[in-house]
Amino acid sequence: MDIRKVRAVLFDLDGTLLDTIRDIGACVNDVMRRYGYPERDVEEYKELVGHGARVLIETSVPEGTPEEQIAEIWQTYREHYRENFARYTRYYPGVREFLTDLAGKGYLLGVITNKTQATAERILAKYFPEIAFSLLWGNNGKRPLKPALETALLACRELEVAPEEVAFVGDGDTDMEFASKAGFYACGVTWGYRPRQVLLDCGADVLADSFEELRALFPGEKKG
């Protein structure tokens, strides 16, 4: 693929723009403790995130937990995390400068995350209030989650771009599968929650070890 054709750069959120794992893990552990279930080391949650809160809870509770209780715990977690997402979350070095640079060059910017829509909006409003994202899509209960092709095509329609004019930046297997399936330029970042080889195996066109390396992929201004 020719990255020079790219007009829109879309991002995953967790593990890509922000290091959120300590807040996610702390909130899951808070909820597990409330229900009398075992807690995990926060680092273990790196392997469980990326597929939405429901899957996160399903893989965090003990095997054999009744379905109706999983649904209750999931809802409890969503509400708890929505109010406690900013205790430990931090910026990755250079992320704000990178986004500002891309916006200044005329790229369309967007975020597609499997977090709930309401929580994603709150997080971006707190951490990136200065960035005018053209698209912010989370789980609204209607659009399918990544890596569904339908979501990628809807995003292209919303932004009025062709798939080959989109780069997707993410740290997860789901992100690279999503980008590859859609025909996006798949940029895997190595500072997140999946190993390098997983990103390559899932279709990454390029890997970046820092936002400086990522910046070098998008050097020119967009003219329209």
Q: Which residues does 141 contact at the CB level (< 8 Å), separation at least 6?
A: none
Token pair recorded at residue 118: 């309401």
Find where tokens 């020079």 sit.
4
Three-class DSSP category at 126: helix
- CATH numeric code, 21-83: 1.10.150
pTM of the model: 0.94
Domain with CATH 3.40.50.1000 in the chain: 3-19+90-215
DSSP state of 6: -
**pLDDT values of the chain reduced to their tens digit, one per residue, 224 residues:** 778 899 999 999 999 999 999 999 999 999 999 999 999 999 899 999 988 899 999 999 999 999 999 999 999 999 999 999 999 999 999 999 999 999 999 999 999 999 999 999 999 999 999 999 999 999 999 999 999 999 999 999 999 999 999 999 999 999 999 999 999 999 999 999 999 999 999 999 999 999 999 999 998 776 55
- Kindly list the strands in the beta sheet with 8-11, ordered across the sheet, starting from the edge strand earlier in the chain: 135-139, 108-116, 8-11, 166-170, 185-189, 206-208
CATH fold label, 3-19+90-215: Rossmann fold (3.40.50)
Beta strand segments in 134-214, E: 135-139, 166-170, 185-189, 206-208
Distance CA 219, CA 4 (A): 9
Domain with CATH 1.10.150 in the chain: 21-83
